[in-house]
Amino acid sequence: MSDTKIVDARDTFCPGPLMELITHMKQSSVGDTLELLSTDEGSGADVPEWVNKVGHEILSNEKIDGVWHIKIRKAK
Amino acid sequence: MRILVVGGGTGGTIVANNLARRLSAEIRSRRVRITMLSASDKHMYQPGLLYVAFGQMTPDQLYRDQASLLEGTIDFHVDPVEKFQLDQNKVVTKSGKVYEYDILVMATGSRIVPEQIPGLVEGAETFYTEATAVKLFKRLREIQEGTVAVVVGVPHKCPIAPVELIFGLHDYFKARGIRDKIKIKYHYPIGRIHTIKEVAIWAKPEFDRMGIEYETLFNVGEVDVENKVVRSEEGTETQYDLLIAIPPHRGMEVVEKNNLGEGGWIPTDRFKLTMNGHDNVFVLGDTTNLPVSKTGSAAHFQAEVVAENIASMIKIGTPVRDYDGKVYCFIETGHDSATYAMFNYQNPPDLKPPSKPMHWFKMSYNQMYWTSVRGLL
């Protein structure tokens, strides 16, 4: 298991947090853990929707001081 | 002071020209020397490829000689870098020459990697190179009826291109009088039809008005060329007669081979535009790993910051400003109207209704680019 990779997508409108996450997921290996940081209000729902649909795993999802911290494990 | 610019695209060219003007006295007195290394003696206006795909421009209109775009004091060589030795402040080129520097500017750009998706090269048309844009236009001319499917790889350059393509397809088939015989289906990787929320909110009713079908949360997994089916990683599929792909991108191979950044994207400070851990290495445009649009516009605004900061470091010993994330993207909304999206790290875009004058402005900019890249606009 590798260390958690931080994907810092705070304060970005394009390509945006979920697109950033998908980019980094494609560059990662199965079993890797990524933590997405996002200030986009919609990320708390948008990201789990995609992660669950494609079949990866949400490890945690919380908002701290206005920033979403969403941990995902690449499952496939 | 030796300034080395690696890459002769939009970002590298604007940085070099801007520096040559800001530091003209220092260059004349031989205290500063600017060198540019590029892989090509030609400079392409890449946004023009979409016009080529619709038969509105020909490829020869997209090119200028790179040397003709540069200030005369810039020492320009067509000799791509193969090795970056950042710990020794030097690079080694394909010809074997060694270039030492005090300040390095990395503007190597990105490349398409359609081969990463099984079947995409064989099964999909695209428009991200001269040859593929011409081929796409020929396919568009041939088709008489059926389903045209558009899929989008991640990450990709010019995030506005997918929606511009859709507007262009609608107008093109309408002009040919066959729009009612063509189904256009758009597929997008995230849960709305564009990554910029404001663009998605604006474009959705436009797509509905034009009769565009769309499927979101669709990341291209594979193309079954024999059966003309494109499948998503999310488990859905679409039958097509003509498949058009925005191909996935990576950073340049030389960046990956030199282990400078995962995916070929160089880790970059989002405000200073310096490479993490290397204060004398500036990175801009597609080359960075920043969560910023990979567009000529971003490269342009970043180039102005980088040039101003390098010049001020030489003149007063310190950089003077940060990059604020500014991007300005034209959005062609068909063949005779356009709007734009302008935003930065803090402020989202505020989209205005499309208009003909904005389209004319874009058409003018297609020519003004050559002034812009010379650093005059």
Q: How many residues does chain B have?
A: 377
Map out the domains of chain A as residue ranges: 5-73
Contact B234 A13 (CB under 8 A): no
Contact A15 B291 (CB under 8 A): yes
- Residue of higher predicted confidence among A12 and A35: A35
Query: CA B201, B202, B204, B208: dihedral to nearest 10 degrees?
Result: 150
- B113-249 classified as CATH 3.40.109.10: no
**Sign of dihedral through CA atoms B307, B310, B313, B319?**
positive
Contact B263 A27 (CB under 8 A): yes
The ranges of chain B with pLDDT < 50 are none
Contact A50 B217 (CB under 8 A): yes
Distance from CA of A12 to the nearest CA of B (A): 5
> Measured between beta carbons, which residues in chain A are less than 8 angstroms from residue B190?
16, 18-19, 22, 46, 50
Mutate to test the interface with A, among B116, B156, B197 (most CBs of A within 10 A): B197
pLDDT at A3: 84
* Helix-then-strand count for chain B, H and E: 11, 22
Q: Tell which CATH architecture fits domain A5-73.
A: 2-Layer Sandwich (3.30)
CATH topology of domain B2-109+252-327: FAD/NAD(P)-binding domain (3.50.50)
**Choosing from A1, A3, A14, A53, which is the catalytic residue?**
A14
Average pLDDT over residues A43-51: 94
pLDDT at B177: 98
Contact A13 B155 (CB under 8 A): no
Task: Dump pLDDT digits (tens) for B286-337.
Answer: 999 999 999 999 999 999 999 999 999 999 999 999 999 999 999 999 999 9
Mutate to test the interface with B, among A3, A13, A41 (most CBs of B within 10 A): A13
Domain with CATH 3.50.50.60 in chain B: 2-109+252-327, 113-249
pLDDT at A1: 47
Strands (E), B41-128: 42-44, 63-65, 75-78, 81-85, 90-93, 98-100, 103-106, 110-112
d(CA B377, CA B361): 14
Confirm or reject contact between B292 and chain A (CB < 8 A).
yes
Task: Dump pLDDT digits (tens) for B64-92.
Answer: 999 999 999 999 999 999 999 999 999 99
